[in-house]
């Protein structure tokens, strides 16, 4: 039986009033707008082919290398090739000694796919009980529910109106409630890839998972088609950790200005499509062009995709991400084109 551990609610500050531990990922979008805090749960949501697994693999590559510590990866109903590649990448980087792997891939029976998530959680809880801070990666949580749906059908249960198993909510709860910090012990920081069927964010399975997350990162098919990788939609995504008490006042202020520029860009792009950017009032034109630079600057070549892109992966620190965006917003790079910021790491020197 699983050991019972006292559950505590996750707060931005602990009992001593210390600031929450922010994990640097080296990915600009995460570090600037969606900071990861030790003990939090982050979902990476998107349809087929939007890059969820690539983002998860880059997080493993960057965080495990930078922070070390214990890491658990649960491969749930996904491609065997990806698990094979992950194993050899970890082996080549000499990181296998820090990582536990549990797989129930897409060729496995539904029972295996539905239960491998519990195997991954048991491994994480075992390490947590030894007072370790654990990084738990789950790819893909939706496949866990899909396996449960197939098991439910085989058991002869009447499905809900949406076609899912009648126990959908309780199955999600049973997993998510086990991802927690324990008083006086270790923590589990979870990263969950969530497949979104037909890009429908209102799908019952997606909604059921969404309510448990501290941060939800939404991948956009439109950005994929434009070649903007990682294809994170900053206006649909959200994170409760983006707070001045967590990241600091300077970081918070810059992030809010970036979001404001993205919002204004979203409102102006339809007008620009009709009349062109040169016909905008001078203030709007300046904001639009700076937002274009910000969008391009937030793209980034990943280490795990070097073999496909031919570009060397870039690790960008939190300070470099914040300062780069601050300089673009302040107008230091108004003389440069938006294309100059595409797929780079740090901002170019002035």
**pLDDT tens, residue by residue, 144-160:** 999 999 999 999 999 98
> Which segments within the chain are labelled E, that is strand?
7-8, 22-23, 36-37, 41-46, 70-76, 99-104, 133-139, 181-182, 187-195, 215-218, 238-239
The residue from 79, 221, 285, 346 that is catalytic is 79
**Domain coordinates in residue numbering, the chain:** 22-242, 249-341
180 is catalytic: no
Which pLDDT belongs to residue 19? 59
Mean of the per-residue pLDDT values for the chain?
A: 90
Residue-wise pLDDT tens digits, 22-40: 999 999 999 999 999 988 9
Closest by CA to 136, choosing from 209, 52, 39, is: 39
The residue from 24, 38, 58, 78 that is catalytic is 78
Closest by CA to 74, choosing from 36, 110, 49, 105, is: 105
Residue-wise pLDDT tens digits, 274-321: 999 999 999 999 999 999 999 999 999 999 888 888 899 999 999 999
| Rounded-to-5 percentages of helix, strand, coil across the chain | 50, 15, 35
The CATH class of the 249-341 domain is mainly alpha
38 is catalytic: no
pLDDT tier, 161 (very low <50, low <70, confident <90, very high otherwise): confident
What CATH code is assigned to 22-242?
3.40.50.300
The residue from 38, 41, 52, 293 that is catalytic is 52
Percent of the chain whose predicted confidence (pLDDT) is above 90: 72
Task: Give the pTM.
Answer: 0.88
Percent of the chain whose predicted confidence (pLDDT) is above 70: 94
Quote the CA–CA distance of 10 and 14 in Å, as a whole number: 8
The DSSP secondary structure of 200-229, one letter per residue, reads: -TT-HHHHHHHTT-SEEEEB-HHHHHTT-S
Give the mean model confidence (pLDDT) for residues 88-100.
85
19 is catalytic: no
Quote the CA–CA distance of 91 and 93 in Å, as a whole number: 5
């Amino acid at each position: 039986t699983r050991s019972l551990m006292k559950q505590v609610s996750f707060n931005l500050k602990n009992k001593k009033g210390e600031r929450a531990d922010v994990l640097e990922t080296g990915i600009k979008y995460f570090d600037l707008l969606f900071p990861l805090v030790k003990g939090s749960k982050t979902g990476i949501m998107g349809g087929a082919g939007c890059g969820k697994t690539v983002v998860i693999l880059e997080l493993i590559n960057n965080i495990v290398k930078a922070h070390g510590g214990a890491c658990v990866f649960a491969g749930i109903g996904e491609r065997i090739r990806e698990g094979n590649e992950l194993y050899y990448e970890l082996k080549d980087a000499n990181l296998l000694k820090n990582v536990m792997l549990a797989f129930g891939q897409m060729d496995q029976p539904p029972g295996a796919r539905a239960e491998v998530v519990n195997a991954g959680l048991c491994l994480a809880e075992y390490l947590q009980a030894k007072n370790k801070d654990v990084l738990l990666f789950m790819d893909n949580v939706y496949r866990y529910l899909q396996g449960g749906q197939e098991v439910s059908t085989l058991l002869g249960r009447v499905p809900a109106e949406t076609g899912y198993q009648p126990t959908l909510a309780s199955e999600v709860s049973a997993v998510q409630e086990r991802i927690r910090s324990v008083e006086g012990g270790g923590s589990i920081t979870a990263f969950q890839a969530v497949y979104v069927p037909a890009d429908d964010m209102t799908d019952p399975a997606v909604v059921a998972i969404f309510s448990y997350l501290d941060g939800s990162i939404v991948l956009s098919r439109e950005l994929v088609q434009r070649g903007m990788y990682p294809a994170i939609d900053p206006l649909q995504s959200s994170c409760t950790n983006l707070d001045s008490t967590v990241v600091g006042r300077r970081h918070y202020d810059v992030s809010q200005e970036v979001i404001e520029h993205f919002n204004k860009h979203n409102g102006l792009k339809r007008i620009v499509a009709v009349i062109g950017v040169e016909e905008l009032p001078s203030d709007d034109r300046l904001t639009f062009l700076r937002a274009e630079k910000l969008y391009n600057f937030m793209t980034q070549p990943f280490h795990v995709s070097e073999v496909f892109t031919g570009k060397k992966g870039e690790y960008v620190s939190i300070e470099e991400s914040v300062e780069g965006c601050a300089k673009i917003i302040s107008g230091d790079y108004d003389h440069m084109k938006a294309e100059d910021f595409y797929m780079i790491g740090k901002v170019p020197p002035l």
